[in-house]
Amino acid sequence: MTLLTLAYRNLLRRPARTTLLVFSIAIAFATALSLLALSRGIETTTHEGAEERGADLTVSQVDASDVFSGVVPESHAAKIAAMPGVRGVSGEILMFTPIDDERQILTVGMAENSYFWGAMPIADGRKPEKDERWVVLLGQGAAQALGKGVGDTLTMFDQEMKIVGVTGYRAPINRGAIVARLQDVQELAFKHDVVTLIHVAIDPSLTLAQAEALGAEIERLGRVSASPTEQLFSRDRNVAVLRAISQVTSFIALTMAGLSVLNVLLMAVQERVRETGIMMAIGWSDRRIIATIILEGVITGALGSLLGIPLGFLACGFFEYLPTIGAYLDITPPLDAILISVAGALALSALGSLYPAWRAVSHTPADALRRA
């Protein structure tokens, strides 16, 4: 006979109620976990995408509110390329473009001299030839989503483009994107002589201090910031908003779970006033009675978390079928998001048990024993 045994037996007294409570916690847990995974997925996917393409630093307009809205002079690419320690540069326009008037797809307009072209894996077809206009390569995810392949055409801003290849990238963001010539995208988007970003590959022999010095030198070009590519979205307003919404929604979901625990345990405690009186009568301290009730809350929180983990993975799997995000993001709950969600669920379940526990010991033993 331990506190755990007693808490467990109490929960088993009303199996239907306990099961419903565990399910409500599990759903809240899964919501929190999948939303945290979604916001984290943006960062990890960007990082994976940049790593796959071989970018070290990304130069963007200083204090641009988001990645897509920044403007950097295209001429900066040549200046950066001339700096010591720079292995390659790639001026790019990054934007969502309307394809076949049906859907918006992430499009990368890549400069002809971009170092990315050299390492680009090709799954089918070929890369654009020199000075070839109005051609695109599709990521395999984009090809699948559009149902198109090499030799087909698509329209981008009413301009017909020929699909000459399918890239063999594996990172979700690269798989979901269309790669076009920078010149073409600049013309279609009325963004002559400017790019959204300049990716920089640096000499691997550079020390951290030298890489930081290079970043500082790039920033001296004026009104641009140079940051490690994996941090590309760290200052992005849209991502920040999404992250905030995810966190707040997660918190609300877990709080609702905590309130469910409060509600159910309050009912249970009111039903068991006389039994609480018995425990008091045989010398159980208030603290021990409170601990038993909190333990009941924590057990339901733990069971809800246990069930919520597979539900969370299921929800993330569902996200991948959403065309707006599923094509670009790998939304797999990372371990730290699981641990944060478990900690949150347990803490809020324990918090939700506090008031019922306090109510349970608010009677004198005589009052409690008088209850029918």
Partner 1 sequence: MGSARPLIALKNVSRAYDDGAVVALRGVDVAIDEGEFAVITGPSGSGKSSLVHIMAGFDRPTGGTVFWDGSPVKNLRAWTDLRRTKIGVVFQEFLLLPTLSALENVELAMVGTGLSTAQRRGRAKDLLDHVGLSARLGHLPHALSGGERQRVAIARSISNRPRLLLSDEPTGNLDSESAAQVIELLLAIRKETKMAFVLVTHDEEIAALGERRIRIKDGLIVEDEAPKARAVR
Residue whose CB is less far from partner 1, 216 or 281: 281
Closest CA to 52 of 173, 143, 144, 166: 173
Instruction: Work out which of 5, 104, 324, 362 binds partner 1, going by CB under 8 A.
Output: 5
Q: Which is closer to partner 1, CB of 12 or CB of 82?
A: 12
Closest to partner 1 by CB, 10 vs 353, is: 10
State the minimum distance, in angstroms, from the CB of residue 286 to partner 1.
Answer: 7
CB of 10 or CB of 300, closer to partner 1? 10
Closest distance of CB 46 from partner 1, Å: 53
Cβ proximity to partner 1: between 71 and 369 the closer is: 369
Q: How far is the CB of 263 from partner 1 (least distance, A)?
A: 21
- Exactly one of 216, 245, 343, 366 binds partner 1 (CB under 8 A); which one? 366
Residue 214 phi/psi, 5° resolution?
Answer: -65, -45
- In the numeric block, the tokens 């198109």 are attached to 148
Number of residues in contact with partner 1, rule: CB under 8 A?
25
Closest CA to 48 of 275, 290, 320, 331: 331
Return the number of the residue (13 or 237) whose C-beta is nearest partner 1: 13
| Shortest distance in whole angstroms from residue 268 CB to partner 1 | 12
Contact string 280-299 vs partner 1 (x = CB under 8 A) = xxxxxxx-x-----------
Least separation, in Å, of the C-beta of 264 and partner 1? 17
The radius of gyration of the chain's CA atoms, rounded to the nearest angstrom, is 28
Q: Which stretch binds partner 1 (CB under 8 A): 4-12, 166-174, 213-221, 228-236?
A: 4-12
Q: State which of positions 211-270 bind partner 1 (CB under 8 A).
A: none
> Is residue 179 helix, strand or coil?
strand
Binding segment (CB under 8 A) for partner 1, from list 111-119, 259-267, 339-347, 362-370: 362-370
Residue 169 near residue 194 (C-beta atoms within 8 A): no
**Neighbour count for residue 121 (Cβ, 10 Å):** 11
What stretch of H or E contains 118?
A: helix 116-119
Computed from CA positions of residues 252, 258, 261, 267, in that sequence, does the dihedral angle turn out positive or negative? negative
- Count of CB atoms within 10 A of residue 291's CB? 18
Among 216, 267, 278, 339, binds partner 1 (CB under 8 A): 278
Closest CB 359 distance from partner 1, rounded Å: 16
CA neighbor of 2 nearest in space, from 292, 280, 277 = 292
Which of 214, 232, 279, 348 is close enough to bind partner 1 by CB under 8 A? 279
Residue 153 binds to partner 1 (criterion: CB under 8 A): no
Question: At residue 333, what are phi and psi to the nearest 5 degrees?
Answer: -60, 120
Smallest gap, in angstroms, from Cβ of residue 288 to partner 1?
6
Q: Report the C-alpha gap between 323 and 300 in whole angstroms.
A: 36
Give the count of alpha carbons within 13 A of 106, CB side only: 23
Cite the beta strand spans of 120-271 per DSSP E. 122-125, 135-138, 153-156, 159-167, 178-181, 194-195, 197-202, 224-228
Fill in the DSSP letter of residue 229: G
DSSP three-state, residue 291: helix
CB of residue 306 to partner 1, shortest distance in Å: 23
Tell me how far apart the alpha carbons of residues 130 and 195 are, in angstroms, rounded to a whole number. 20
Q: Closest CB to partner 1 among 12 and 335?
A: 12
Q: Closest distance between partner 1 and the C-beta of residue 6, in Å?
A: 7
Contact residues for partner 1, defined by CB under 8 A = 1-3, 5-6, 9-10, 12-13, 275, 277-286, 288, 364-366, 369
